[in-house]
Chain A
Amino acid sequence: MKGFDLLAVLTHPQFSQMLLSGMKMTLIIALGSWILAMSLGFILLVIRMLPLKAADQAVAAYVSYHRNVPTLVQLMLWYFGIANILPNGLQAWLGEHNGEAIFAIVGLGLCQAAYFSEDLRSGFRSIPPGQDEAARALGHSYLGAMAYVLLPQAFRHALPALINHTVSLFKNSSLAMAIGVAELTHAVKEVENLSFRVFEAYLIATSIYLACSLLLMAIGAWLSRDPATMEAS
């Protein structure tokens, strides 16, 4: 083994380039699947609030599937399984347009949507029914009461859980490596193979992951600080 030398990896043009592009891919996947998960989470929540038993059960089944099947297995089912039964034209298009990354975003996004929708739902459940009644009595329409009274409160109640799941979504982006996406963990494995500097490569990647996770946790703590100051803003 060579002596410990972080700079040998960081200042090497090829290695630093690989790490940077890996980091970029990790951010694209995390951000893309977060946006997908959050929008779908809201849609699932709205569907679940419809006065239809079938809709409620369908969403419950969706949530149950995504919570009880390992995320890696979901990704593999998307990438190896579902990709294979898509129409040929679509398969070819995906092959040309970085299909691995698209499947990673879709797989992670759909999975995390289940968690987000449950977080939001328990946020809603913690609002006393009087809030809705009062908002309606004051002349708000259904949507108005939702947008100005209920949603802001539900969101605040759900915030700690949403932040936790955002951190785990970010960490789960590393699973995309298993289906061949060139994200950070993948890049680190490559750098390790080329440079034989395992310790340095892992240390750099771990620091990056840790810094991002801690940053997310800190943002979460800041957002869910004293509710009184939040109501004023």
Chain B
Amino acid sequence: MLSNMIAIIEDNWLLLLIGQYPNGPLGGIISTLILSVLGIVLAFPLSVLIALARLSRWKLLNWPATALVYIVRGVPLLMLILWVYFLVPLLIGDSVPGFVTMLCTLVIYEGAFLSEIVRGGIIALPTGQMDAARALGHSQFGAMRYVILPQALYNMMPSILSQFVSTIKETTLGYVINVPELTFAASQLNNRLLTKPFEIFAILAIVYFIVCWSLSELANQLEKRIIKQRLGEDQTGMGSLQHGSPQTQGAT
């Protein structure tokens, strides 16, 4: 079985790496990673806006943002993909490649989940930070921009990294709408070879495991370092930053 798996990798590593590129769309693990990075990078500004809107006292900002977060958290990602798959071409008036559909979905989905992390990070800061910034003459916006957000985002870095791992796992759902990525490449391979499904899907699982496990470990190390750094800050008398527990999110 192991020799079979090695033979499959030797013959098809290029398909698993980049899909059918350059004869077809870019696929494979490279596509998975590009999709995840773009997803989280584009979702990030959105998530900060949603978090600020949820913390706002204006109901006009607060309510829609809260509703958005609850809806996205309460609906399966697959359902959201189907919605985007159906609505985006309708709005644009033209068909959209699967990659873009998946990217749009990820930005909305991750935006909502990340906003909860950002909000947690802001709430976890001692209120004295805001008071001090205002007392020093910052406006509400300036205090948020120059004092609160930089600290909150720094503290939330490990959680954001774990969210990135979740994003990688979520890109697999693109398989359902034929987005060319790693899972899709493996299933193409399975359709071609037909006789070795166990080996192929085991390889797929191992590849995802290696990528996600390394990143999760990195997040753990980062978290340890940040906690240590903060303890160091305590000794110099800068006061402790209360750390919100890193939010874990279910598997996808």
Contact = CB atoms under 8 A, between A and B. Distances in A.
B64 to A, nearest CB: 16
Contact of B198 (A64, A82, A169, A214): A82
B74 A174 contact: no
Nearest to A174: B76
Contacts of A169: 250
B110 interface: no
B252 A209 contact: no
A65 B168 CA distance: 15
Interface in A156-201: 161, 164-165, 167-169, 171-175, 177-178, 185, 188-189, 198-199
B198 A81 contact: yes
Contacts of A112: 250-251
Interface in A45-71: 64-71
A171 B77 CA distance: 8
A77 B201 contact: yes
B251 A209 contact: no
B209 A214 contact: no
A209 B173 contact: no
B134 interface: no
Contacts of B183: 70, 72-73, 76
A188 to B, nearest CB: 8
Interface residues of B, number: 41
Contacts of B175: 72, 178
State the 10 A-B residue pairs at the shortest beta-carbon distance, nearest first.
A168-B250, A213-B74, A81-B198, A174-B76, A70-B169, A68-B212, A171-B76, A81-B201, A70-B172, A77-B201
B169 A167 contact: no
A222 B76 CA distance: 23
Contacts of A74: 205
Nearest to B216: A68
B173 to A, nearest CB: 6
A221 interface: no
16 contacts: A64-B213, A65-B205, A66-B251, A67-B216, A71-B169, A72-B175, A73-B172, A73-B201, A73-B204, A73-B208, A76-B183, A81-B200, A164-B248, A174-B78, A202-B86, A209-B74
Main secondary structure of the interface of A (DSSP, over half): helix
A124 interface: no
Nearest to B182: A73
A148 interface: no
Nearest to A161: B248
B74 A202 contact: no
Contacts of B190: 80
Interface string B234-252: 0000000000000011111
B200 A177 contact: no
A15 interface: no
Nearest to B71: A210
B79 A177 contact: no
A161 to B, nearest CB: 7
Given A76-B201, A112-B251, 6 more contacts: A81-B202, A169-B250, A174-B77, A188-B82, A214-B74, A217-B74
B250 A164 contact: yes
A231 to B, nearest CB: 23
A54 B83 CA distance: 47
A44 B197 CA distance: 29
Given A81-B198, A82-B198, A202 B79 contact: yes
